[in-house]
Amino acid sequence: MVDRVEYDEFGLFHENAEEFGLPFDGPPVVRRVAVEVAPGRRLSALVWKDGEPELVLLHGGAQNAHTWDTVAMALDRPLVAIDLPGHGHSDGPGARPDGQLNIQGNAIDVAAAVRQLAPAAAAVVGMSLGGLTTIALAKEAPELVRKVVLVDVLPGIKGERAKHITDFVSGHPSFSSLDELLKWTVQFNPTRSLSSLRRGILHNAEQREDGTWVWRWARHRFEVPSSNSGPEVVDDTLYDGLWDSLASITVPLLLARGMRSDSVLGDEDEEELRRRLPSAGVVHVAKAGHSLQGDTPLELAAIIDGFVFGG
């Protein structure tokens, strides 16, 4: 008999609050919605609080909308966190049904979702793959992008800088148990607490009928010939035009860059940003690596609030 692990998607927020010292007098107002972005295909999203959403949050590859939970709680504003195509609870990508990355396809789908869920949002915040998608979105649907926050990403990330990420997401197609999945995750996230990693796994993986576990994004890739590349691995052609698209952005843009060794950006990337878009702002976050929303969520929330709302 398979030992099933119970999971309540909206029952873990007290852990976020406790870990980061946020006030908690009951679960926040959050609901999951799904919107059709193409015939027969839907994107899923978390809608935080009542009222017109003020922000759109886009996660990185191999992540999902719950990666923003602590940031959203700290911001305490109406917002939408979207599961990118092929991630979380969203359907697989339309342009690439094999589950591989397609940043332009992401932007088209996200534009359709934002038009329905947050057409008046003050800013789009994108981390890693979500940041590249945001750049493409600004060209695809500029009327939906009023300010941009890029979280530790710029076009043309060099493969060696992201090796620790690709090694993690490419390691195993499935896991025999939650404990095995947790042990694997701990190896690549030594600075995170066990409770936060377990919480992240429950949001980002699912237990199959035979008791094994698979990442939610990986369920779209079972029939794809192995290429030893996870969803953060992209060939250079996928970056074609993204620097030009970024340079053409006319709305305020801020890069929040993690400064630990596990960031994927180097000084040369930041210099290229300043050369291509002199108006861009840059904030360095000393204690964060690539995933600022996980390493320093309160600091990231303050950065977003200050840049977007002047708070």
Q: Which of 44, 90, 128, 291 is catalytic?
A: 128
Does the annotation count 152 as an active-site position?
yes
Kindly list the domain boundaries of the chain, sorted by start residue.
Answer: 13-159+239-309
Q: Where do we find the tokens 């945001």?
A: 134
Going by pLDDT thresholds of 50, 70 and 90, the confidence category of residue 162 is confident
Q: What is the pLDDT of residues 71-95, one digit of tens each?
A: 999 999 999 999 999 999 999 876 5
What is the predicted pLDDT for the residue at 198?
93
Helix (H) or strand (E) holding 96: none
Q: Could you tell me which residue, 64 or 193, shows the higher pLDDT?
A: 64
Q: What is the pLDDT of residues 126-144, one digit of tens each?
A: 999 999 999 999 999 999 9
Domain 13-159+239-309 has CATH 3.40.50.1820: yes
Does the annotation count 290 as an active-site position?
yes
Please give the Cα distance from 99 to 226 (Å, whole number).
12
Other beta carbons within 10 angstroms of residue 269's beta carbon come to 21
> Which of 30-44, 92-106, 127-141, 192-206 comes out lowest in average pLDDT?
92-106
What is the predicted pLDDT for the residue at 238?
57
Q: Which of 69, 83, 109, 152 is catalytic?
A: 152
DSSP 8-state assignment for residue 155: T
Q: Which of 66, 89, 220, 290 is catalytic?
A: 290
What is the predicted pLDDT for the residue at 231?
39
Q: Checking DSSP bridges between strand 148-151 and strand 253-258, what pairing results, if any?
A: parallel
Q: What are the start-end ranges of the H helices in 150-218?
A: 163-169, 178-188, 194-204
Q: What is the pLDDT of residues 208-247, one digit of tens each?
A: 999 999 999 876 554 333 333 333 444 444 566 899 999 9
Does the annotation count 90 as an active-site position?
no
What is the predicted pLDDT for the residue at 239?
65
What is the predicted pLDDT for the residue at 257?
98
What is the predicted pLDDT for the residue at 112?
97
